[in-house]
Amino acid sequence: MSKTTAIFNQNHDEGPWYKHRWPWLLMLGPFAVVIAGSITMWIAVTQQDALVVDDYYKQGKAINQDLRRDRVATDLGVQFSAHYDTPTRILSGSISNKAKQAIGDISVRLIHATIPEKDIVLLIQPDKAGHFSVALPMLDLGRWQVLVENEKRDWRLNGIWTWPAQRSFAIEADEQ
């Protein structure tokens, strides 16, 4: 047997392929992709898409009604301002209008940007001067959409509150 044949046989007589680490190392990448793809598929199938609207046509029609409510708020000149006191967990503020009409009970909805289960609805009964104070649990950090409307849902105000960057916020009806 020649030297070349002896070296060749010496390199390949170390055992079967599965006893070497390089084939396993090379298979690790595709295996990781298969596992990650399976996990992604499981998440996609089991979790609900909170941002997708089931009946977009009805919501599109409802937008026109909401725009009418925005115009009513503008005509009345409604203004809402609030301050959140963290130690006492109290949201206090005032609501007024330029028409000097009685405000009545108010609903304030704090809408979480991505998780509907974290939305908060506050029922506020302002005094005759329009001042109010209501308990509010500790909020998650982030951007909250604020929707203020009267109990009859004749008008509404929309705004954004970035908590905790803003301790206070104000929403005014758009000027015409």
pLDDT in tens, 102-121: 677 888 888 888 888 888 88
The region of weakest confidence among 48-62, 71-85, 91-105, 162-176 is 48-62
User: CB within 8 A of 140, min separation 6: which ones?
Assistant: 112, 118, 163
Question: How many DSSP H helices and E strands does the chain contain?
Answer: 3, 8
If pLDDT is split at 50, 70 and 90, which confidence band does 7 have?
A: low
- Which of the pair, 123 or 14, is modelled with greater confidence? 123
pLDDT at position 4: 54
The residue to which tokens 């996990």 are assigned: 39
69 burial via Cβ count (<10 Å: 0-12, 13-18, 19+): middle
- Asked if 53 contacts 66 with a C-beta cutoff of 8 angstroms, the reply is no
What pTM did the predictor assign?
Answer: 0.59
Report the alpha-carbon angle 147-148-153, nearest 5.
105
